[in-house]
Amino acid sequence: MISRSGMFRVTEGLAVDMSDRVFHLPSFRDVLEGEIFLQNLPSIVAARALDPQKGERILDMCAAPGGKTTAIAILMKDEGEIVAVDRSHNKVQGIHKLAAEMGLSCITPYKLDALKAVCVRNESEDLSDPSCAKDNHGGHIQDSNFMKSEVEKIESITFERLNAENDFKKAVSNEKANESSYISKADIRKEMRRKRNGPGRNQCLGGKVEKSKGFAPSSFDRVLLDAPCSALGLRPRLFIGEETIESLRKHAIYQRRMFDQAVQLVRPGGVIVYSTCTINPGENEALVRYALDTYKFLSLAPQHPRIGGPGLVGRFEFPDGYTEEWLRPGEEELVQRFDPSSPLDTIGFFIAKFVVGSNETDLQNLSS
Ligand SMILES: C[S@@+](CC[C@H](N)C(=O)[O-])C[C@H]1O[C@@H](n2cnc3c(N)ncnc32)[C@H](O)[C@@H]1O
Q: Model's pTM, two decimal places?
A: 0.77
Cα separation, 225 vs 270, in Å, equals 14
Mean predicted confidence (pLDDT) in 269-283: 98
Ligand 1 nearest atom to the CA of residue 258, by list position: 19
Residue-level pLDDT at 187: 60
3-state secondary structure of 317: strand
d(CA 319, ligand 1 centre) in Å: 32
* 43 Cβ closer than 6 Å to some ligand 1 atom: yes
Ligand 1 nearest atom to the CA of residue 66, by list position: 9
Pocket test for ligand 1, best of 43, 44, 62 (most atoms within 8 A of CB): 62
Digit-coded pLDDT (tens) for 186-235:
566 556 655 555 544 334 455 689 999 999 999 999 999 999 999 999 98
Strands 210-211 and 315-317: unpaired
Strands 349-356 and 298-300: antiparallel
Cα separation, 222 vs 269, in Å, equals 9
Least confident residue range of 42-46, 128-132, 289-293, 357-361:
128-132
How long, in residues, is the chain?
368
Pocket test for ligand 1, best of 87, 91, 111, 277 (most atoms within 8 A of CB): 87
Ligand 1: residue whose CA is nearest its atom 17: 87
Pocket test for ligand 1, best of 44, 86, 95 (most atoms within 8 A of CB): 86
Ligand 1: residue whose CA is nearest its atom 2: 228
Percent pLDDT > 90 in the chain is 59
* 86 Cβ closer than 6 Å to some ligand 1 atom: yes
d(CA 239, ligand 1 centre) in Å: 22
Digit-coded pLDDT (tens) for 120-155:
766 555 545 556 643 333 333 233 333 333 333 333
Ligand 1: residue whose CA is nearest its atom 11: 62
* 353 Cβ closer than 6 Å to some ligand 1 atom: no
Digit-coded pLDDT (tens) for 28-48:
777 887 788 889 999 999 999
Least confident residue range of 157-166, 187-196, 299-308, 339-348:
157-166
Asked about 204 being catalytic, the answer comes back as no
Burial grade of 235 (CB within 10 A; 0-12, 13-18, 19 or more)? middle
- E strand segments, the chain: 57-60, 81-86, 107-111, 210-211, 220-226, 266-276, 298-300, 315-317, 323-325, 336-338, 349-356
Mean pLDDT of the chain: 81
* 283 Cβ closer than 6 Å to some ligand 1 atom: no
* 226 Cβ closer than 6 Å to some ligand 1 atom: yes
> pLDDT confidence of 309, banded at 50, 70, 90?
very high
Residue-level pLDDT at 366: 55
Mean predicted confidence (pLDDT) in 100-110: 96
